[in-house]
């Protein structure tokens, strides 16, 4: 009788989301909603809990290599597609305000978008936000890909892209896969080189944002630009 009452009172992750809203759910429960089903001998919440534990949380899971994820028991192409779609929806939701307002009027919106865009990458990615004269987003381009140790950045390529988009300003950004958003000496040097190169074509560098795990570092906010 007790077991029956417990079963009747059990609130699954989907019911909890619909009844109390997504903020009431833990990471395990949210992931379980996306995965929908578990496998024989492993309920969906147990599957979600195992994946998060093995991949160092949501950031580690979503930043993992796709082939490695497909090797995880219970996580096939259909479930992986749902995870990637959810991640991209979040990224696009964060990007939308940047296309309709002055980016510099709300630096937090920009940093939130960059967290979505770069925060789960397992390698270093250097990207540029190209802006028009009103500082609305024209395009976000991932220009250089690296390893855990860094990415080679070529100022000429950034200048070429700025001319292609007829940009008036640029925000530079890259992630630190280590998770620590502190700029290195190399980060400072490439910022100066890019600022000088883009100045030759009258394109301003408004900021350089470094994305760590759950944090960002803004050169502009720290008075380095």
Q: Which of 57, 56, 80, 55 is nearest to 70 (CA)?
A: 80
Q: Are 125 and 174 in contact (CB under 8 A)?
A: yes
Q: Which of 184, 182, 190, 185 is nearest to 212 (CA)?
A: 182
Cα–Cα distance for residue pair 12/17, rounded to 1 Å: 9
Q: Are 183 and 217 in contact (CB under 8 A)?
A: yes
Strands 169-175 and 204-211: parallel
Tell me how far CA of residue 168 lies from CA of 6, 130, 198, in angstroms.
Answer: 62, 8, 10
Cα–Cα distance for residue pair 192/85, rounded to 1 Å: 37
According to CATH, the superfamily of the domain at 102-218 is Cytidine Deaminase, domain 2 (3.40.140.10)
What own/partner pairs with CB < 8 Å and gap ≥ 24 does 27-33 have? 27/52, 27/57, 27/58, 28/52, 31/58, 31/61
Domain boundaries, the chain: 2-88, 102-218
Cα–Cα distance for residue pair 201/167, rounded to 1 Å: 10
Cα–Cα distance for residue pair 48/29, rounded to 1 Å: 8
Q: What is the pLDDT along the chain (225 residues), one digit of tens a residue?
A: 344 444 445 568 888 888 888 878 888 888 888 888 888 888 888 988 988 888 878 777 777 778 888 888 888 889 888 888 887 887 777 777 777 666 666 778 888 889 888 887 878 999 999 999 999 989 899 999 886 666 788 999 999 999 999 999 999 999 998 888 999 999 999 999 999 999 999 999 999 999 988 789 999 999 988
Cα–Cα distance for residue pair 147/46, rounded to 1 Å: 33
Radius of gyration of the chain (CA): 21
Q: Is 154 helix (H, G, I), strand (E, B) or coil?
A: coil
φ/ψ of residue 171, rounded to 5? -115, 125
Helix (H) or strand (E) holding 172: strand 169-175
What pLDDT is recorded for position 148?
A: 61
Q: How many residues are present in the chain?
A: 225
């Amino acid at each position: 009788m007790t077991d029956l009452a417990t079963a009747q009172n059990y609130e699954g992750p989907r019911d909890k989301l619909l009844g109390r809203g997504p903020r009431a759910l833990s990471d395990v429960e949210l992931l379980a909603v996306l995965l929908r089903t578990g496998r024989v001998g492993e309920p969906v919440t147990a599957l979600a809990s195992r994946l998060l534990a093995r991949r160092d949380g949501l950031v580690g899971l979503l930043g993992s290599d796709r082939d490695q994820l497909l090797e995880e028991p219970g996580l096939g192409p259909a479930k992986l597609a749902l995870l990637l779609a959810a991640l991209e929806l979040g990224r696009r939701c964060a990007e939308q305000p940047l296309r309709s307002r002055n980016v510099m009027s709300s630096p937090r919106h920009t940093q939130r978008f960059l967290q979505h865009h770069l925060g789960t990458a397992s390698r270093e990615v250097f990207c540029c936000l190209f802006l028009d004269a009103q500082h609305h987003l024209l395009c976000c381009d991932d220009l250089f890909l690296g390893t855990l140790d860094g990415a080679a950045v070529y100022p000429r390529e950034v200048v070429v892209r700025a001319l292609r988009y007829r940009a008036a300003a640029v925000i530079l950004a890259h992630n630190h896969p280590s998770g620590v958003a502190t700029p290195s000496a190399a980060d400072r040097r490439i910022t100066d080189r890019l600022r000088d190169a883009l100045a030759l074509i009258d394109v301003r560098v408004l900021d350089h944002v470094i994305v760590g795990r759950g944090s960002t570092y803004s050169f502009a906010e720290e008075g380095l630009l």
